[in-house]
Structure 1
Amino acid sequence: MLRPPTLRRPRSRRAAATLLAALAVVPLAACAPTIGAIPAEDAANPACAPVMLAMPETLAGDLVQRQTDAQATTAWGEPGAAVTLRCGVTPPGPSADCQSVESAGGTVDWIVEAGDDGTWRFTTYGREPAVEVLVPPAVTESRSTSFIGDLAQAVGLIEPTAVCT
């Protein structure tokens, strides 16, 4: 005859509190929002894997990295108001909107474009595959886009083949 498993009572209040805390974390982790994203055309490019693994866990001090539902993408912030990143976009050609951004992680050249809806688009220049970052107005209302420099260490894993002129 099968018997139901028996649970042992923790030997101390401290052990009981630790067990309860551990059990409480598991369901909370499952509730973290997944942010919808559209993969780039070349998202399966092997050069994207190390870039994605090197992404920072936070941007701008308080934008926490979130799980996304597409390959070679990540996001920081809340659904509907998140900074999103895609690796594997088509590399852009030369542009007057090219800017070199220097940071502790290195220098990365970005094509910077402002959308009609207030969204800022940053696309790496001179790197293949290219990386695209979209920053919605909900983010730029309360902070600058200088956090783009925080991505240099990860994006820098793709060697540059050209620079802004």
Structure 2
Amino acid sequence: MRTRRAAAAVAPALAAAVLLTATLTGCSPIVALTPATHANDPACADVIVRLPQTLEGLARRETNAQATGAWGDPAQVLLRCGVTEPTASDLPCVQVYNTDWLRDDTNAPSYVFTSYGRTPAIAVVIDQRKLTPGLVLGDLDSVVAFTKPNGRACSSIEDSLGSTATPGPTPTPTPTR
């Protein structure tokens, strides 16, 4: 009788341990990131709690730093809220929906897009070999809206988001006789 009670008490704990082990072995490792300088800005918390669980078909991953996000395994999109706000720059500016982004292609084909004219600023690193930057930034536009406009705007907008394919000129039709 005592053995049955002991077995009955151990069984749920053992089942929980097996479930926990199975769950942990199926997870991707945590993405290690460094928090941005102003990651503790309350607006970053508003952004982070609204990040999508999937982004262009990539599952969101757990990160180890405040005000960050990552998607894909391996990570193909990284987000950090609270980066230093950019000032006027020689970097090209692109606009996706309601947000201006400065595009840094120093490490192309991985591009860093930093929101411009918004406080706190958000940096998004996108592996352009795998994803279209415009689609990713478009999917993030509704969460970037939780940052405040700061009065800055790009003076000129470029139409390239870092795509490797650049459209050529449209040919002029030749009349047929």
- Asked if residue 92 in structure 1 is aligned to residue 86 in structure 2, the reply is yes
Q: Distance in 2 between matches of 1:53 and 1:152?
A: 14
Q: Distance in 2 between matches of 1:29 and 1:110?
A: 38
Unpaired segments of 5 or more residues in structure 2? 10-14, 156-177
The corresponding residue for 1:101 is 96
Q: CA RMSD in A?
A: 2.6
Higher RCO (CA-CA < 8 Å; seq separation 6+): 1
Identity %: 37
2:70 to 58, 75, 95: 75
Normalization by structure 2: what TM-score?
0.71
Residue deviations 1:87-138, cap 9 Å, x none? 0100101235122111xxxx111111112353100000011110000113xx
Q: Distance in 1 between matches of 2:19 and 2:100?
A: 40
- Asked if residue 142 in structure 1 is aligned to residue 130 in structure 2, the reply is yes
Q: Shift of the alpha carbon at 1:160?
A: 1.0
Aligned residues: 144
The corresponding residue for 2:31 is 35
Q: Distance in 1 between matches of 2:133 and 2:18?
A: 36
The corresponding residue for 1:152 is 141
Q: Shift of the alpha carbon at 1:65?
A: 0.4
Q: State the structure with more CA Rg.
A: 2
